[in-house]
Every structure is written in structure tokens, then in C-alpha cells.
Structure 1
Amino acid sequence: MVGQKRYALFLATQDSEFVKSTYGGYFNVFKSLLADEGEHWDAFRVIAGEFPDDKDLDSYDGFVISGSSQDAFADDDWILRLCSLVGKLDQMKKKILGICFGHQIICRVKGGKVGRARNGPVLGLGRITLVDEAAKIGEYLDGIPTSLNIIKCHQDEVLELPESAKVIASSDKYDVEMFSIGDHFFCIQGHPEYNREILFEIIDRVLGLGYIKQEFADAAKATMEGTGPDRKLWEKLCKTFLKGQL
């Protein structure tokens, strides 16, 4: 189709059995947030070594990097390959939306520092606040309120931003909740694609694996009592950045 918009999702995580059975995989979870009718979306499971050919990169209008249970500062082969790919896309000035792990990978590629979260891991609904300068950073922030609810699930954080980056939002626990670089990198530490069901399944799964204590799990679920993520606002924000939809 002439003029059809094309986007690619780099999946840095495996699908849980719950996500596969309920949504058909994280690819569909992301598409439900970001995709519009008439667009073509491809998924590359980079954690399993699936990458696009360099010759095909220019055919895409934008890219999304998902979250992951892996560390963005690790040197696994696929992570280094992903870093190299992000560097190529940076040179091409292709738009990339980085989510959680993706947010940290972009920081790493551009010369920042990522490591274990100084104030500890977070799991549950969190509230982030736009910094005072955010209104000057991008048109995609037009009409977005100064604070937003988002589901968070991470044990690492951006420790030092690249020199070229600008902080968009922070929270009481993390200095960098969102940042941008130029007009082609937009990075979010939280998970705009997650909903209550996905969060609760993750909590139950990591609790069953012994990664967290019951008290931590209960507190994580309690963050969702009577409230939820601002999904429609996140959809607007992410689509506006990725596609220029004002």
C-alpha cells in the first residue's frame, strides 16, 4: 500500500503464559496502545536474536523498544547488538519510543549511565510529575497534565543522563521518569502498555518465584485500589510523539 505507515517493535522480553493466552503476546498489548487502522506493524524478538536487516530500517517510520527482565547495562550479545542498532537509528534520526528497558538502553547508547535503582525496586502504580521545563521540550506534551499515573515494574534506573538529554518527568523516588533527546528519542521508565490484569499477574508470578515477599506484593496491589493508570493520556502522548498526531 502506497504511503502506508510502518512501525517496528523490538521485544526485549519473552511472553508470559498469561499474556500469550489472554492477549496473544506482548506484541498485541503494544499494538492495542499504539497501532491505528491502516498501519503495518512488525515485531522483532531481539531477546531471541531476531533483528531487522539494515537495508530495511529506512522503510520504517518509527520504532518501539519494550521492557525486559534483563539489565540494560549487561553485555549479552543481543543487548550489544540492540545497542548497535539503536546507534544506527540515531544516525538516521528515526523516531524511537523507549519503554522501561528501552528507556535505559537509549540512555546507555547515548553515553549516559544505567544501574540498580538507588532507592530500590518498584512494582505497582506510581505517579510521575512533569518538570517545569517540559512544556518547551516537545509538541507531544501539549494538553498533557502535569502529573500522570503509570504502572511501574523495574529494579534499575537512569543514574546519569546523556549530555544531550532533557528530563521530562520525575517522581519522589526516581529523578528520571521520562526524558527526550532531540525530536527522535522519547523515553519512559514506566509501562504505558500495562493494565491492572497484567500487573497483578506479574506480582503473583514473581511472588511465587520467591523474588518478592508477601508484604511487598500486597503493597504493590494496594497501589491500584480505587485508581488506575492514565492509559488514554499515555496513548495520546506516545502516539503524538511516534506519529506526529496532535
Structure 2
Amino acid sequence: MVEQKRYALFLATPDSEFVKKSYGGYFDVFKSILADAGEHWDAFRVVAGEFPDEKDLETYDGFVISGSSHDAFADDDWILELCSLVQKLDHMKKKVLGICFGHQIICRIRGGKVGRARKGPELGLRNITIAKGADEKLGEYFGDDEIPTSLNIIKCHQDEVLELPESAKVIAYSDRYDVEMFSIEDHFFCIQGHPEYNREIVFEIIDRVLGFGYIKQEFADAAKATMDKTEPDRELWKILCKNFLKGRRDLA
């Protein structure tokens, strides 16, 4: 009998009413691109102080850290507890996929530097370029498929990785950010953008932050316009993220 694979998602953001109504919550959004039949997935709302017991960490095959509206360099109690937990996972060499805030948390716990984005916040669809020398790493995840030279991804952040930790390898960059993706050894893979987002989700975020007065109408219009003629490469992101977490190419 094949042992059931177990994965955990650390949710660093509360569900919006829209996401709850339309998708059942961010947990289901992530599972829609990462989960396979027969697997067991747990969600821990770390933003609300919900964490797994340390004794249970060994029972999981991989972990995902979501994005957040909070700063990864802040010292809120739950952020410090998350950092401590990710350090334990690092020592255990557990696979961890860091998304946006999660990408920055992994940078932080490994001694890198995270701060406000030097060229300002980004919201909308962007193209990122695969770095020279990253083919070997990406080849592990794309297998016999052609490795892309660039990828479209939805971005929604105001912070960035300013300095990479030692031993980190840049996987992708863009014209605005030096580090769009990086990896550390074989167990950390980090993405500044949101492979789990689609057009509907990001448009609702744009409208919501506009309504709060966090951005101006021109910025909102420009963000939506980035998706006029192009879509995110969701299928390629699905392959990349799943094969990193699971070390296999079976996407059934």
C-alpha cells in the first residue's frame, strides 16, 4: 500500500469575502494548483497564530508559505514564530515553497535582507526572465519539457529581497527586481509572484485596495491593463511548483 503524502499550507493572510464565496478560501485556491488525488493537505492560519505541533513536522512531505499583506521583516509575534518554525524545517531539510511573503521569510531566516521595494510596489501581470545558469535547477522540475526563458506571473507586493542569503541561487529576475525566484540547496524554492492567482482574484484585489485608498485610480487601471492581451503561465507554474514539492512529473 502506498503511503499517503502529506502537505501543509501556512496561510499568512486572511481570506477575503470574495475568495471565500468564489473559491472556498485561499486554501482551496492553492490546492487547485498543487494538490493531487490521494494526498492529505492541512492549512495552518499562521497569521492568526495557528501553527502545527513541532512533533508533527516530520509527518509532512512538504510545506507552502503563502503571501501576506504583512511585512516579512516585521517582528510581530506570529511572524517571529513562523521564522522559528521555518528554521526548524531548514534544519530538517524539508521542502518548503515560499510564495511572495513566504519567499521573503525564507530569505530572512537564512540571513538575507528584505525591505521595501526600491522601485516601488508592483501589481498586475509581469514577465520575469530565467537567469543564466538556472537551467540545471529548472531541468529537475521540467524534465523532458522545454525550459522556458521567461514566465508570466501575477505580482502583488511592496517589498522585495534586497540581499540574498549565502548559498542562494537566483533563478529568475525582472527589469524591476533582481530576485524574482531563488532556491537554496534542494529544499527551498522561492517565488516573489503569485502562481496561484488568476485574473479574477487579482482584479478583486485591485478593486479592494483602490477602495481602501491604498492606490490611485491610474495605478489600478494600469495594473488591470497588464492583462488585456496576456495571461499568467499558470500551467507552467503548476508543473514547476508541484514537481519541486513532490519530486515527480506525474501531474494526474
TM bucket, shorter chain = over 0.9
- How far apart are 1:141 and its partner, in Å? 4.5
The answer to whether residue 180 in structure 2 is matched with residue 180 in structure 1 is no
Q: SS state of the match for residue 114, structure 1?
A: strand
Unaligned runs of 5+ in 2: none
1:112-135: CA deviation from partner (whole Å, max 9, x where unpaired): 000000000000000001001101
- How far apart are 1:186 and its partner, in Å? 0.1
Residue identity in the other structure for 1:33: I
The answer as to whether partners of 1:9 and 1:41 remain within 8 angstroms in 2 is: yes
Q: SS state of the match for residue 51, structure 1?
A: coil
1:1-246 matches, within 5 Å, as: 3-138=3-138, 139-142=140-143, 143-246=146-249
Q: SS state of the match for residue 108, structure 2?
A: helix
Residue identity in the other structure for 1:160: E
Give me the TM-score of the superposition, normalised by structure 2: 0.96
Q: SS state of the match for residue 137, structure 1?
A: helix
1:114/1:141 Cα in 2 relative to 1: closer, same or farther (>3 Å)?
Answer: farther
Query: Would you say how many aligned residue pairs link Structure 1 and Structure 2?
Result: 246
Residue identity in the other structure for 1:201: E
The answer as to whether partners of 1:125 and 1:224 remain within 8 angstroms in 2 is: yes
- How far apart are 1:164 and its partner, in Å? 1.2
Residue identity in the other structure for 1:156: D
The answer as to whether partners of 1:144 and 1:237 remain within 8 angstroms in 2 is: no
How many angstroms apart in 1 are the aligned matches of 2:127 and 2:248? 25
How many angstroms apart in 2 are the aligned matches of 1:166 and 1:2? 34
- How far apart are 1:2 and its partner, in Å? 5.3
Give me the TM-score of the superposition, normalised by structure 1: 0.98
1:200-230: CA deviation from partner (whole Å, max 9, x where unpaired): 0000000000000000000000000021100
1:70-103: CA deviation from partner (whole Å, max 9, x where unpaired): 0000000000000000000000000000000000
- How far apart are 1:245 and its partner, in Å? 1.7
How many angstroms apart in 2 are the aligned matches of 1:117 and 1:214? 21
Q: SS state of the match for residue 215, structure 2?
A: coil
- How far apart are 1:136 and its partner, in Å? 2.2
Q: SS state of the match for residue 96, structure 1?
A: strand
Amino-acid identity (%)? 81
Residue identity in the other structure for 1:97: L
The answer as to whether partners of 1:114 and 1:156 remain within 8 angstroms in 2 is: yes
Residue identity in the other structure for 2:82: L
Unaligned runs of 5+ in 1: none
- How far apart are 1:144 and its partner, in Å? 2.8
The answer as to whether partners of 1:62 and 1:242 remain within 8 angstroms in 2 is: yes
User: Cα RMSD between the aligned structures?
Assistant: 0.9
Residue identity in the other structure for 1:199: V
1:160-196: CA deviation from partner (whole Å, max 9, x where unpaired): 0001100000000000000000000000000000000
Moved >2 Å (runs of 4+): 141-144
The answer as to whether partners of 1:135 and 1:141 remain within 8 angstroms in 2 is: no
